[in-house]
Chains A and B, each alone.
Chain A
Amino acid sequence: MTLIDLANPTRFLALTARILPWLAAATVLLLAIGLYQAALAPDDYQQGATVKIMFIHVPNAWLSMFVWGVMSIASLGTLVWRHPLADVAAKAAAPIGAAFTFLALLTGSLWGRPMWGTYWEWDARLTSVLILFLMYLGLMALWRAVDDPSRAARAAAVLTLVGALNLPIIKFSVDWWNTLHQPASVMRMGGSALDKSFLIPLLVMAVAFTLLFVTLHLAAMRNEILRRRVRSLQMMQASRVAFSNEIGGARGQNASNEVGAA
């Protein structure tokens, strides 16, 4: 099956029906393995057991940016290739990305309080992620504000691509500015600075959360396709009612004219 085949929503729905149960099972399995490994991971020599927050905070932080990246590619699909499922993908991803970003902010705050002595600091990393969260909310509001999905899609796609400028700012904020947030310790030049006992559970959790996103995203896309079918059937129903009223009105008018003539 090619990408062109998936442009057909009915084929896409058939595909999601087949693969969603497998994806959900793989997600549950990997989450269970990741959580087990996270529970067994040793305490950090400086942070103690609070290092366990990393296994939930870092995957959410990565996904907050990854989901916006997915939405940006989908936006290109809307604006450049006009792929019929591109705006469906972008719209369905926004609430999921917002949830991951919220969790990244919340767990980061809960990690920061015992380690930094504060829940929040207006440093470049924290502020740029907060801006990302607000952009997710703005995008969701935009989708709800415009009734016609194709008109909303184009405006949302432009906003998403402009918002993508924030992604390198988030990634490199810890290098460009002096921040309370630590610099990158996994994806950095010279390899990961994390010990294997932390790195392996972290990577398993990251893959598990990515699978969770893929599963939820496909399910949300399926819902969005069904919502658009509801909308088009409702419009069809409304146009039938309007047409029958028009016919009925014209017949009534003719009848009254005939009575008047008689």
Chain B
Amino acid sequence: MIMSLGPYASFIVTSYAAAALVVALLIGWIALDYRNQTQRLRELEQRGITRRSGRSATEL
């Protein structure tokens, strides 16, 4: 069944598409940031810079 959105379909579709795009950008940004931070921590640890506790900085 194809949904009928009437004469203002473009406004409805644009609203949902914009919401999907912004949410996708947020998720992508947070995922990329996580990857960057863990990578930087690993690089620092490989250079011998460790936390005072001696535990891995990426340890959960």
Question: CB distance A49 to B26 under 8 Å?
Answer: no
> Interface range on chain A: under 10, 10 to 19, 20 to 34, or 35 or more?
35 or more
Return the CB mask of A7-38 against B: 1 if under 8 Å, else 0: 00010011001000000000000000000000
Question: CB distance B37 to A230 under 8 Å?
Answer: yes
Could you say which residues of chain B place their CB within 8 Å of the CB of A220? 30, 33
**Cα–Cα distance between A106 and B15 once the two chains are bound (Å):** 8
**Cα–Cα distance between A39 and B13 once the two chains are bound (Å):** 12
Chain B count of residues within 8 A CB distance of the other chain: 39
Q: Give the residue among B12, B33, B40, B51 with the most A Cβ atoms within 10 A.
A: B12
Could you say which residues of chain B place their CB within 8 Å of the CB of A173? none
Question: CB distance A212 to B6 under 8 Å?
Answer: no
Count of chain A to chain B residue pairs whose CB atoms are closer than 8 Å in the complex: 103
Question: CB distance B15 to A233 under 8 Å?
Answer: no
Q: Which residue of chain A lies nearest to B26 when distances are taken between CB atoms in the complex?
A: A99
Known: A49-B5, A230-B41, A230-B44. A223 touches B22 (CB 8 A): no
Could you say which residues of chain B place their CB within 8 Å of the CB of A219? 30-31, 34
Q: Which residue of chain B lies nearest to A11 when distances are taken between CB atoms in the complex?
A: B60
Known: A10-B59, A233-B51, A237-B44. A53 touches B15 (CB 8 A): yes
Is A251 interfacial (CB 8 A cutoff)? no
Could you say which residues of chain B place their CB within 8 Å of the CB of A53? 11-12, 15
Is A43 interfacial (CB 8 A cutoff)? yes
Q: Give the residue among A96, A99, A230 with the most B Cβ atoms within 10 A.
A: A230
A binding-site residues for B, Cβ under 8 Å: 10, 13-14, 17, 39, 43, 48-50, 52-53, 56-57, 60, 95-96, 99, 102-103, 106-107, 110-111, 113-114, 212, 216, 219-220, 222-223, 226-227, 229-230, 232-234, 236-237, 240
